[in-house]
Amino acid sequence: MAGKEKGPVRVAGAMSGTSFDGVDVALIETDGIEIFDFGEVRGTSYSDEDRAALRAAMGAWPGEERAEEAAKVVETAHISALAGLHDVSMLGFHGQTLAHDPEAGRTHQVGDGQVLADALGMEVIWDFRSADMGLGGQGAPLAPFYHWACARWMGTDAPVVFLNLGGVANISWVDPRMEAPEAPGACLAFDTGPANAPVDDLMAVRGLGRFDEDGALAAVGTINMDILERMLADPWFDTTPPKSLDRDAFAALAEEVSDLSDADAAATLTACSAGAVGRALLHLPEKPATILATGGGRRNATLMAMLADATATRVQPVEDAGLDGDALEAQAFAYLAVRVDRGLPTSAPGTTGVAAPVGGGKRARPKGTLLS
């Protein structure tokens, strides 16, 4: 049942992405349409042991032991990151995606909203994807409605393009002139291809660290153009959006670069991520003048330079627009939680391919709380 409040509320969002960095928490003040203020940002990093458990669980579906172990890791980390929050109306909890198979109409995020509600004494809105997929949607990406709200907050009177560079990259073309994010033409969003995941995995497998910091390794490598061209020839890039990917959808790239040096492999995989974004622009209503990048990949100078070359477009971090790229996804789930609470759509045909605008999410209240 939708909440009774209609004005702006202070709400938290939490996000654990496919780069396995940790849990990001962010507070915003919103009515589910406009952004009125930004609040505290905090987070916690996963330990090496926790990160290994999450990696081992990738691809797991409900009922598998490795998924249950990952759920405990995710829940414990979120409870730690969220402890001590005050004067928050609710929490938007995404959980950790372990598997995503939109063609089969299924997706799997671990982390139980009821566990968090009981531990934190806070109402939790969670499981944002199931309702969308039940109506034929891809279940992803879910941040575009918030990107639309960010464009409104920026005060721009023209379409804005956001590029989220996580384990997988996704792009949002949003028109803030539209009266609502679910309105036809307000949002077009889709996954572009791999972003940080292939390079992160390369670094881990070769014992070089968790990620290519600032793209330093890729910067001294040579791109293998044959591998790049073979990847970009995949028919998936010609598929009309909306569309979405599992984190390991292009896992075969690991074998492709196995005989390359560390630097050449990093350069080639980074170029693959940038080239995929270049292909994605062909699906947008119009070519943007600027792309605002968010997610961890925006800190990779080599990736950002390759993106500018691949798109022939200025690529800037969202900080240049006054936003926080570390907090944006967590903020998105805070925003979506309020929309769920008030019975507003959280996805639409232009963002996930769902048949009609739909509101997802489940509600969990601390045990002993009376339902309203």
pLDDT tens across 312-328, in order?
Answer: 999 999 999 999 999 99
Tens digit of each residue's pLDDT (9 = 90 or more) over 191-224: 999 999 999 999 999 999 999 999 999 999 999 9
Q: What is the spatial distance between Cα 370 and Cα 151, in angstroms, rounded to a whole number? A: 38
pLDDT of residue 19: 77
pLDDT of residue 203: 97
pLDDT of residue 368: 64
pLDDT of residue 372: 39
Residue 18 has pLDDT above 90, yes or no: no
Phi-psi region of 194 (alpha: psi -120 to 50; beta: other; left: phi over 0): beta
pLDDT of residue 5: 60
Amino acid at 35: I
CA distances from 329 to 198, 266, 312, 363 (A): 21, 26, 26, 20
Token representation of residue 72:
């405990």
212 and 19 in contact (C-beta within 8 Å)? no
Tens digit of each residue's pLDDT (9 = 90 or more) over 79-124: 999 999 989 999 999 999 999 999 898 999 999 999 999 999 999 9
Tell which residue, 164, 161, 183, has the closest CA to residue 173: 161
Tens digit of each residue's pLDDT (9 = 90 or more) over 259-301: 999 999 999 999 999 999 999 999 999 999 999 999 999 999 9
- pLDDT grade for 138, boundaries at 50, 70 and 90: very high
Tell which residue, 101, 298, 57, has the closest CA to residue 196: 298
pLDDT of residue 17: 84
Residue 1 has pLDDT above 50, yes or no: no
**Domains of the chain (ranges, CATH numbers):** 9-140+326-364 (3.30.420.40), 144-321 (3.30.420.40)
Per cent of the chain over pLDDT 90 is 90
Tell which residue, 272, 190, 197, has the closest CA to residue 231: 272
pLDDT of residue 370: 46
Q: What is the spatial distance between Cα 96 and Cα 68, in angstroms, rounded to a whole number? A: 12
pLDDT of residue 179: 96
Q: What is the spatial distance between Cα 294 and Cα 303, in angstroms, rounded to a whole number? A: 12
Q: What is the spatial distance between Cα 118 and Cα 261, in angstroms, rounded to a whole number? A: 50
Per cent of the chain over pLDDT 70 is 97
The mean predicted confidence, pLDDT, of the chain is 94
pLDDT of residue 86: 84
- pLDDT grade for 371, boundaries at 50, 70 and 90: very low
- pLDDT grade for 6, boundaries at 50, 70 and 90: confident
β-pairing, 290-294 vs 160-165, is parallel
Q: What is the spatial distance between Cα 260 and Cα 256, in angstroms, rounded to a whole number? A: 9
- pLDDT grade for 369, boundaries at 50, 70 and 90: low
pTM of the model: 0.93
